[in-house]
Amino acid sequence: MAEKDNNKFGLKDFLQIAVIFLIAMGIYYALFTFVLSNDTVSGISMQPNFENGERVIAVRHAKIERGDVVIVNAPDEPGAEYIKRVIGMPGDKIVSKNNQIYINGKKISQPWLTKGFKLTDNEDGFTGTKYSQTQNFTISSLAKTANYKKYYTSAQLKEMQKTNRVPKGTYFVMGDHRSVSKDSRYIGTIAKKNIIGVVKLRYWPLNKIQVY
């Protein structure tokens, strides 16, 4: 009789499983609220390195370095998130000329653009343009555009025009699909508080798993 009782699934067992489940869910929630961010790539602005529908994990509060791929809160579309690459750090002087980026007077390596120069757009308005085609600009010239006037004060615009520097505490981000990407050339630099995290892993699709 005692053996039969031991095989019963009782209330105590149920409560133990429920507690373990709740703890696991709590850990998962905390992990993806305060440490990690699970995101889906939307759009074509990071082609050919990241495609629409791919899934990535970003680390929140990670150190941000030039070349990092980041998830950011979109300044022009409340509630939306963009995936972009960090090109300019706070205080950097930026000059783009003939598809090359010069930071503080020195040309930077952009290996993430190599594939794009071999691919040609077939999007309306961009047909025939190479993915990696980048227009000429400086921070000073961007600060004179109507787009920048939406995001900065007159004092900030004057400072950028004068110094050609990325404003303090912000980052200049761009998409790898330069010809179509809506990025810091149009929506301004991104404040550190609006950078959700640095992408460290692509886990979907399975045949493209990659650690960054």
Cα 120 to Cα 117: distance, rounded to the nearest angstrom: 8
Cβ 41 vs Cβ 50: under 8 Å: yes
Residues assigned a catalytic role? 45, 84
Q: Would you state the structure tokens that stand for residue 82, as one six-digit string?
A: 């963009």
Helix (H) or strand (E) holding 147: helix 146-149
Cα 198 to Cα 44: distance, rounded to the nearest angstrom: 19
Q: Would you state the structure tokens that stand for residue 209, as one six-digit string?
A: 């798993």
- The backbone region for 33, taken as left when phi is positive above 0, alpha when psi lies in -120 to 50, beta otherwise, is alpha
